Structure 1
Amino acid sequence: MLKRNLLVIGLATLLGACGFQLRGTGSLTADLALKELNVSARNAYGETLNDVREMLQNNGVRVYPGAPYQLHLAREDETRRAVSFTSSARAAEYELILDLDYEIRSQKDMLLLSDKVQVQGFYTKDNNNLIGNDQEANQIRSEMRRELTQQLLMRLQNLTPEQLELLQQTAEAKAQAEADALEAARQQQADQPQQSPIQAFPVQ
């Protein structure tokens, strides 16, 4: 029997605290203020991207390229490390860590905010059952990826179109100020008199 990790306990606690309710098997529902989103990812063919799209659509979000805001999955990393060893110094248990960096961008691809979600899981290694090891590791990864998308859903639940509009106005104002400063510096340089080669090197 495959060893179950402890993610389920922590997830159940979070769900009770955040008012989530189960819909079907292993899926969550949330009342999202954002009803339209474009979703993209650095890995356009990854399973996480498909999971996030499905999660949003199941929660009443219209996912399409022309949406006012874009959820971009910027980076997904997996880290594995041994956490216990056998008497012969072989790894007996591994810890898996999944990190997902995500961004919210405007329709014009202007960065509004960025954040990260992370989950951890554990699996044992049996040197006499390599196939079983792979199966358990894949099952743990699947469970962790599901929790990763659920954590992301919780984060998105706290966002409103009004908050993103304010962030967009701030980002646009900052970009305009930087453009104005760059233009002022260019104009100042253009207004400075240029020395001729003869003036620059006095006659001896």
Structure 2
Amino acid sequence: MIKRNLLVMGLAVLLSACGFQLRGTDTNALTIKEMDLSARNAYGPTVIQLRQVLQGSGVKVHAGAPYTLVLTNETETQRAASYAGAGRSVDYELNTVLNYTIQGHDNTELLSDKLEVQKVYNYDGNNITGSNQESNQVREEMRRELVQKMMLRLQLLNPVQLEELQAKADERARAEAEAVEAARRAQAETPQQSPLEFPVK
């Protein structure tokens, strides 16, 4: 399994060196040229890798950007998918879900969504070291796939769409603020009931 994965990775590097690129993976197609990036785990491998890919794609990642990509939560689950032999070998299914939002000015949420990747690897109780290496390699592949999916999502966005989302978010915020203010005025104008007074005997 490890040899096969190394062969695939080697071919991918060779093809990319020749200028070959899979359709839909051209990260240079991003029209968003400025974006901040944050995550709950600011030094986690996913956010670090995503920052590198964004910068490598010509995106200026900085705190003063008009939009912020926030990785709100990343969860990984693992379950046994199948057994073989006398319980010495087992297939594990790994599942990673990455929730994210894109925020505009004043931390206004413009959109939120999630990405999900799944992979299966074999854990051989007779080869613990090799199985652990394969598990780590699978997790690295899943992280790269998450980052690639995020870049594909970002390719679908452009500044005009984000401006429209920002305008809608601003309108919702104004409507909510006006509703709160109207409720406050109505409460202030409503006569307060005086407490009951009982005659003193």
Instruction: Give the structure-2-normalised TM-score.
Output: 0.86
In 2, Cα distance between equivalents of 1:195 and 1:202: 18
The sequence identity of aligned pairs, in percent, is: 51
Contact 1:30 1:153 in 2 (8 A): no
Contact 1:93 1:123 in 2 (8 A): yes
The structure 2 residue matched to 1:170, chosen from 168, 171, 176, is: 168
Q: What does 1:53-68 correspond to in 2, within 5 Å? A: 53-68=51-66
- Bigger drift between 79-88 and 162-171 goes to 79-88
Q: Pairwise CA RMSD of aligned residues?
A: 2.3
The structure 2 residue matched to 1:148, chosen from 146, 149, 170, is: 146
The answer for unaligned runs of 5 or more in structure 2 is 13-20
Q: CA deviation at 1:17?
A: 4.1
The answer for unaligned runs of 5 or more in structure 1 is 22-28
Matched, 1:102 2:97: no
In 2, Cα distance between equivalents of 1:16 and 1:203: 91
Q: Secondary structure at the match of 1:195?
A: coil
Q: CA deviation at 1:134?
A: 1.3
**In 2 relative to 1, CA 202–74 (structure 1 residues): closer, same or farther, beyond 3 Å?**
farther
In 2, Cα distance between equivalents of 1:129 and 1:140: 16
Contact 2:70 2:101 in 1 (8 A): yes
The structure 2 residue matched to 1:186, chosen from 184, 187, 191, is: 184
In 2, Cα distance between equivalents of 1:145 and 1:64: 23
**In 2 relative to 1, CA 52–91 (structure 1 residues): closer, same or farther, beyond 3 Å?**
same
In 2, Cα distance between equivalents of 1:4 and 1:64: 39
Aligned residues: 188
In 1, Cα distance between equivalents of 2:200 and 2:2: 89
Q: CA deviation at 1:198?
A: 2.5
In 1, Cα distance between equivalents of 2:161 and 2:133: 43
In 2, Cα distance between equivalents of 1:4 and 1:119: 20
